[in-house]
Chains A and B, each alone.
Chain A
Amino acid sequence: MTGEKQNLSIDNGTMDTDKMWVIMGPQHPFSHGLWTLKAQIDGEIVTDAEPIVGYLHRGWEKECENRAYPKIIPMADRLCYAASMTYTHLYCLTVEKALGIEAPEKAKYIRMIGDEICRVQSHLMWLAAVGTDLGNLTVFLWAMREREYFMDLNVRLCGARMTTNFTRIGGVRNDTTDLFDRDVLRCIDRFEKAVWDIIALIDDSSIFVSRMRGTGYLTREQCANLGITGPAMRGTGVDFDVRRDDPYSNYDKVEFEVPVLKDGDSYSRYLVRIEELFQSCKIIKQCVQKVNALGKSAPYRLKVPSKVPAGRAFARIEDPRGESMMYLVADGTDRPYRLKVRSPIFTNVSASKPLVQGSRIADVPVIMAMIDMCLGETDR
């Protein structure tokens, strides 16, 4: 209430509300990492919002200028802990483009297996976070349990759970084993049944569905213009997936579908991610078959020179969270002259204001959960 208006009648015509800024973060249950959302509220309604990032900025791109090419691979792992293999894959693709080489067929399929395992575990991490944002703690526990099986697959493939350091410039570090083939099929068969329990926990409850339905609405044109990518974009009606429309590795040689929903609210973004879980499993199964068809003697790694000829190259891939891109300027030495990372979340979070504007303050955690924050890649 402003100081001048001391009229205590409850007639709505004379009621006057002050707008107030609410600072959510950097330590806040909804933020899933270190970032702040400043929200201006008028009663319950958000009228303005401003995201603040940069708490984790460590000059990743500048650090790379000081390191030899192979030494950047473990650093690329640390860009996003939930999907480390996609970033090492992207980095190696970029350097391979600058070198003018292509990885062997077998390495391409193994990289795709790694990417899709990371996509499943990243989406399960997101599902766990959405569970807590909706107030459903069982979803958190069950999704984390399922994620652990995919972590075990990572261990079978390369010996590490999260920061895998597996992809190499010109291939991958090691071949798949018979044990991995056995485990991956078991794990997926089990997962494709078990995930329905988690989905039922949310979808069978009208309370949780009603918190997502109709919130965070964007039109297709708004979404494209704001630069939102990934599942959040496909839940808003933009029919684009780098894997299908600008294929890299061997994504043009496997069959999968790209889920697209036109509703444009949080619930459709949720449904798109759930469907992507099943499509990723489908891709993994096909890739395992293709790797076995190539035989044990097929090469999985090339010898590459340590110096990259002067020139420029860029590559882009479909990260679990959206479209990520790296741009490399090489100057003929064994270190990059400049390496730029385009992170999907960096652009997605810049669209916070149109996403939350007009919604209730209580819906903000659910709306922002649908873009799946990861600050390691945002701040770099």
Chain B
Amino acid sequence: MAETLQNPSVQQIAEYLWHRFEDKAVVTKTEERRVYAKVQKGDIFDVCRFIHDTLTFEHATSVLGNDMVDHLEVVYHLTNYYTGVMIELTVDLPTDDLHIASVSSIWDGANWHERETYELFGIVFDNHPKLERLLTPDTYEFYPFRKSYKLRGQP
């Protein structure tokens, strides 16, 4: 499966992901121009490389973190410029091991999104070129967007 698909349809994307990764990247839902998938933590880099190289998703719209209290999540939104299709990848991270491979060597645009997720949630992106605080001061020793960090008036 070395050829590239420039205009993959939603069905083709789901089939390709299944053939290539089977249960490592499970497509949970498809809609018009949307594919939702759940990816295992260790495979995110391979899945992203495949999506970028073979399915020609040239643009990483966002990389964001979620604190679900019992675990954390990283959610990737990837865009194909030819068809307008968007893939949403969700990766679960256990709270005791907040390491995940960085995808900023695939999409340069993911660089700052990963830095932001790191400083706000404390999720460490391995092999990131410059994983430093971006929006908050360098002296902060806490991660303000975690649920354990309470705002005034927050229960």
Contacts and interface: CB of A to CB of B under 8 A. Distances in A.
Interface in A330-359: 338, 340, 342, 346-347, 350-351
Interface string A28-72: 000000000000000000000000011001010111011000000
A244 B140 CA distance: 43
Given A224-B58, A338-B67, A54 B136 contact: yes
Given A239-B81, A314-B88, A323 B61 contact: yes
Nearest to A347: B109
A370 interface: no
B145 interface: yes
A48 B111 CA distance: 17
A316 interface: yes
A224 B135 contact: no
Nearest to B83: A245
A229 to B, nearest CB: 8
B112 A350 contact: yes
A327 interface: yes
B66 interface: yes
A246 B108 contact: no
B135 A351 contact: no
Nearest to A378: B135
A65 B154 contact: yes
A221 B56 CA distance: 11
A23 to B, nearest CB: 17
B113 to A, nearest CB: 7
Contacts of A245: 81, 83-84
B37 to A, nearest CB: 13
Given A59-B144, A227-B107, A379-B135, A346 B151 contact: no
A57 B145 contact: no
A338 B66 contact: yes
B77 A347 contact: no
A185 B59 CA distance: 38
Nearest to A57: B135
Contacts, number: 86
B109 A227 contact: yes
Contacts of A228: 109
B112 A346 contact: yes
A184 to B, nearest CB: 30
Contacts of B134: 53-54
B64 A340 contact: yes
Given A347-B112, A351-B108, A342 B86 contact: no
A238 B81 contact: yes
A225 B136 contact: no
Contact of B109 (A63, A226, A325, A379): A226
Contacts of B33: 246
B13 interface: no
B60 interface: yes
A73 to B, nearest CB: 19
Given A57-B135, A63-B151, A342 B144 contact: no
Contacts of A380: 135
Interface in B117-155: 134-137, 144-145, 151, 153-154
A226 B111 CA distance: 9
B112 A240 contact: no
Contacts of B145: 59, 61-62
Interface string A216-258: 0000010011111100000000111010011000000000000
B47 interface: no
B110 interface: yes
B62 interface: yes
A234 to B, nearest CB: 11
Contacts of B81: 224, 238-240, 245
A155 B61 CA distance: 34
Contacts of A340: 62, 64
A228 B61 CA distance: 10
Contacts of B88: 314
B151 A347 contact: no
A239 B110 CA distance: 21
A329 B66 contact: yes
B98 interface: no
A377 to B, nearest CB: 12
Contacts of A239: 81
A61 B113 CA distance: 14
Given A59-B151, A227-B109, 18 more contacts: A62-B144, A65-B151, A65-B154, A225-B58, A225-B59, A225-B107, A226-B109, A227-B59, A238-B81, A240-B84, A242-B84, A338-B67, A340-B62, A340-B64, A346-B112, A350-B111, A351-B109, A380-B135
9 contacts: A57-B136, A227-B59, A227-B108, A227-B110, A245-B81, A342-B62, A342-B77, A350-B111, A351-B109
Interface of B: 33, 58-62, 64, 66-67, 75, 77, 79, 81, 83-84, 86, 88, 107-113, 116, 134-137, 144-145, 151, 153-154
